[in-house]
Structure 1
Amino acid sequence: MEIEADMKRYDVIVVGAGPIGSTAARYAAMNGARTLMVEDHSSIGSPVGCTGLLSTRAVSECDVEPSDDFVFNSVRGAFVHPMNGDRLPIDGKKTKAYVVSRKMFDRQLGAMALGEDVDLWLNTRATGIETSGKIQRLSVIREGRTETIEANVIIAADGVRSRIAKMAGLGNVSKVLPGIQAEVPYRSDDTDFVELFVGSQVPGFFGWTVPVNESISRVGMAVDPKYGINAHEVLEELLINNKHVASRYGGGKLDLVMGGIPLGPLEKTYSDGVIVVGDAAGQVKPTSGGGIYTGAVCAKIAGEVAAKAVSEENSSSNFLSEYDKRWRGKIGKELSMGMRIHNFIGGLEDSELDELIGSMNDPAILDTITRYGDMDHPSILIKKMLHPSRSVHMLKVFRAFAKAVL
């Protein structure tokens, strides 16, 4: 249900009511700011543009407990399938992630924001920003009518092709991987494990199957646009011609979603009266494409800094730079490491990647992965793995990896 606002002047306006926008709005309101959230679509949580696999830390960072209201399944590990050779079994030994209904998850976060007295306008598209002194004027089309809303700070949480970031002169993320996912009849070997497919079968990133239950999985992938390959065609190739997937695929599609994965953060995520957060800012893990954990970390900072700007009556670019410094201090190094890992893996030939994965199929290395593997902080594992004594067979690969990443 849409919450009607009784005025057109707010302290903070958040554009975008996804999980990152809802979290930013909630934290702004919790810190004393009168906050409005505007959403382009007619409901929160639709359309879906995400895999719906959230790390346990991502769920916790959003200040919610996992529940049957939005969790379909839990997973503890992954089977990694190279182009040739045996699959690599990675077992975290305990729940590492949840397969969720993003629609219900997003709505729970939206309800939490409304519970902190955040106002919500649905069917509202932001069309322009005008600065007047210390005030930002946001032009919107709300249910077909043009309106103007004033605020001290606007938080842009409007996705990978953020209009607000562009209007504020901050631009958009330069590299975006097109992704596609289908929910399909699929006989999973083990619903505690996702499956990953790497190499030239999914150029520039990877493919996946995520088990919803024993008979349905989400099968998807993202590709690097530099290869000039249509993502939909690659998905069909994975479903029909990959022997492992094809033998378990029951045919047809129950659901189809598409989206973009931004790689690499914006050079600057603030300007006078504007803060950019989440996918709009490129705050996404380059190793997995996940953005809920990183985005939620940044959204909390965004809400706090925006509210502080209101209370101190200073929404200048210089004041809002605190947001940029704080979020980069928290996750900047991890994102940088993740980009180097992404670039390194993307530069390997199939034979090199097969060797890398094959060499990791060693009890001692698998134990290290179990002990130190972390979906949200892969650098912890990488630093442990880079010790050459882990595997003589991988010495050459480790040296190349260290040169590229460290």
Structure 2
Amino acid sequence: MNKIKYDAVVVGGRIGGSTASLFASKNGLDVLMIEKNQEIGTPVQCAEATSSSTFKTLEMEPSSKYVCNEIKGADIYAPDGTHGHLEGGYAEGFILERKLFDKQLAIESAKAGTDIMVKTTVKDLIRRNGQICGVVAKHMGHTIEVEADLVIAADGIESRISKMAGLKTHQSPQSLCSCAQYEMVGVECDPHYLQFYFGEKIAPGGYVWIFPKGDGIANVGVGVRSDTETAYSFLKKFTSTMDATPVELNMGGVPVYGPVKKTYTDSLMVVGDAAGQVEPFTGGGIHVTAQCARIAGEVAAEAIEKENTSGNFLKKYEKLWQKEVGKDLKQSLKYRKIMDQLTDKEMNIVAEFLIEQDLESISKMAVLGFVRDYPQFLKLLKDIL
């Protein structure tokens, strides 16, 4: 059995893994990143939209190499077709080509000094005297022991590494949104605006999206929480009336009920989907994962420098990411839970009210008038405030 030694081993080579590796390497660590697939970036399990803050976090510039399109806003459709428009602000950003972006991020990490092993699967954690001190991996038929002072788990939903370490990262059916997406050619839509469609008939417990990539190409997807039909069946229904051709199908799950309770233990930290670091309301996770994974990489470097990888030290990681994004995730979860309570009829009523308001400076009188006319929304309003 081959044995190798690193300061830190990162399991998973997507945005969470590559970002943690990048900033751990930038801060002087000897890092190995392990990816189970033979190519970083595939298969795609993402709608590919992100905000400009992602690039600030990563200290990268948006590039035509991996940015398909710039987004200026969004159009939102209630179940009855009531249409609201958002311009700028949170709705601004980019559509990425994740196959290229993820690989470029791994390349940046490699340039910073990270070693990378693809087509490699972690089979177990190495423990000595109860302490995690690396991983056992299988690479091209060969078993390898990777000794490391620290492990970062970036291995996605239902993280096996976290479970091996004794952390509770289990996602229930209620907390997961099942998603299916086509990349389609011949989609007629404004190339700089996202589209969102809500309604029990088209996407129970979620929504349909159309994210334009330019030149008539768009990601058309649906996320649902349904016991009766698959996300793919809802996708087929929605796209059946579109005069467009699918060229790619991707499916996966997204955690939409907030972060897991604990994202660290002795000698291990958890990042990205594995940690539930996703906005519950939108299901968007690129910018959140980038922020949290950068913190993990920087805390890893500090822990190794101080020769202290105990959970007592690594809790600093959780404190820092909670300080940076925790409040936003809690607020997003609150909106998710409120949305879950609304019927289609109630969504239509809320949408009709909101499109008549200036959302930046909505007046108390307008809100009081709305509650007077629709007292059933009083509790929901209290929950928001």
Q: TM-score, normalised by structure 2?
A: 0.92
Match of 2:205 in 1: 204
Flag the 1:314–1:93 CA change in 2: closer, same or farther, 3 A. closer
Shift of 1:33: 1.3
**Could you say if the C-alpha distance between residues 149 and 187 of structure 1 is closer, same or farther in structure 2, counting changes exceeding 3 Å?**
closer
Alignment length, in residue pairs? 375
Give the secondary structure class of the aligned counterpart of 1:283.
Answer: coil
Does 1:195 find its partner at 2:191? no
Structure 2 gap segments, 5+ residues each: none
Aligned 8 A contact 1:182 1:256 in 2: yes
Q: 1:135 to 1:350 in 2, by over 3 A?
A: closer
Q: What does residue 17 of structure 1 align with?
A: 13
**Kept after mapping to 2: 8 A contact 1:188/1:214:** no
Matched, 1:158 2:155: yes
Displacement of 1:251: 4.0
Does the 8 A contact of 1:173 with 1:265 survive in 2? Answer: no
Cross-structure match for 1:122: 118
* Alpha carbons 1:154, 1:274 under 8 Å: kept: yes
**Match among 29, 38, 41 for residue 33 of structure 1:** 29
Give 3-state SS (helix, strand or coil) of 1:333's partner: helix
Identity among equivalent pairs (%): 33
Equivalent-residue separation in structure 1 for 2:288 and 2:91 (angstroms): 19
Match of 1:330 in 2: 324
Name the counterpart of 1:402.
381
Whether the aligned pair in 1 keeps the contact of 2:41 and 2:100 (CA below 8 Å) is: yes
Q: Where does structure 1 lack aligned partners over 5 or more consecutive residues?
A: 1-5, 241-245, 369-383
Counterpart Cα distance in 1 of 2:196 and 2:170: 26
Cα distance, 1:59 vs. partner?
2.9
Letter in 2 for 1:354: N
Q: Is the CA contact 1:301–1:326 (under 8 Å) kept in the aligned structure 2?
A: yes
Contact 1:179 1:223 in 2 (8 A): yes
1:254 equivalent in structure 2: 247
2:333 paired with 1:339: yes
Match of 2:133 among 126, 132, 136: 136
In the TM superposition, residue 102 of structure 1 has moved relative to its aligned partner by 0.3
Residues 1:294 and 2:288 are matched in the alignment: yes
The amino acid that maps onto 1:389 is M
Bigger drift between 301-310 and 179-188 goes to: 179-188
More displaced, 156-165 or 85-94? 85-94
1:147 pairs with 144, 149, 157, which one?
144
Provide Cα deviations, 1:301-348, integer angstroms capped at 9, x if missing partner.
111111111111111111111111111121112111111100101210
CA contact (8 A) 1:188 1:211 kept: no
Bigger mean CA deviation after superposition, 45-54 or 82-91: 82-91
Contact 2:126 2:133 in 1 (8 A): yes
Q: Matches of 2:90 and 2:122 in 1, distance apart?
A: 43
Specify the alignment match of 2:217 in structure 1: 216
1:359–1:391 Cα contact (<8 Å) kept: no
Do the aligned partners of 1:356 and 1:394 also contact (CA within 8 Å) in 2? no
TM-score of the aligned structures, taking structure 1 as reference length: 0.87
2:178: which partner in 1?
Answer: 178
1:228 to partner: Cα distance: 3.3
The structure with the greater share of residues assigned to strand is 2
1:285 aligned to 269, 279, 283, which one?
Answer: 279
Distance 1:123 1:405, change over 3 A: same
Amino acid at match of 1:206: Y
SS at 1:9 equivalent: strand
